[in-house]
Amino acid sequence: MAQNSGGRQRPNILITGTPGTGKTTTASALAEALQLRHINIGDLVKLKNLHDGWDDELDCYVINEDLVCDELEDVMEQGGNIVDYHGCDFFPERWFDRVVVLQTENSALYDRLTKRGYTGSKLSNNMECEIFQVLLEEAKESYPEGIVSALRSDCIEDISRNVENLTNWVRSWSPSMS
């Protein structure tokens, strides 16, 4: 049986990885399968203006990490959340019972990002991030070793398998989720 943190009835899971690795697809499918709350940090930042403006070079909002954490504190304490974001080192360690880093083979990731319209430094920065496993290292440095795992996310079959494995993990963590 997985360990239950902080007296929560349902676990919190962070799904992280380079843009284009399937975080939102995986988090949405997992949330639906388990009737948990999916929190897409990028959407939350836009919706609640939890940012410090726009970065023209990287073509994205500069998130205000303190505002994001303040916004999420109460809901994270309740448990039952699947958080989806391409960073992880600013979230409090106590929030998560499992941290999943999705990884995608470089040519597949390149194709996904170019289809999204990524070019120039935004494309090269994200490709380098994946090649050098920056997010996996960030997760390993930010969370206990036993809760961090890297999962392949090259194709729809990988995503389905990951959702199934995470669903089984949640059910073992919380018998009431069965």
- Provide the pLDDT confidence category of residue 59 given band limits of 50, 70 and 90: confident
Domains delineated in the chain:
13-170 (3.40.50.300)
CA neighbor of 73 nearest in space, from 93, 95, 54: 95
- Provide the pLDDT confidence category of residue 21 given band limits of 50, 70 and 90: very high
What is the pLDDT of the chain when averaged over all its residues?
94
CA neighbor of 122 nearest in space, from 59, 62, 63: 59
Give residue-wise pLDDT tens across range 103-151.
999 999 999 999 999 999 999 999 999 999 999 999 999 999 999 999 9
Q: What is the mean pLDDT of residues 36-40?
A: 98
Query: What's the predicted TM-score (pTM) here?
Result: 0.94
- Provide the pLDDT confidence category of residue 5 given band limits of 50, 70 and 90: low
Q: Check if the beta carbon of residue 129 is closer than 8 Å to that of residue 18.
A: yes
Instruction: Tell me the angle at which helices 106-115 and 120-131 cross, rounded to the nearest 10 degrees.
Output: 150
Give residue-wise pLDDT tens across range 79-97.
999 999 999 999 999 999 9
3-state helix, strand, coil in the chain (%, to 5): 50, 20, 30
Q: What is the mean pLDDT of residues 57-79?
A: 94
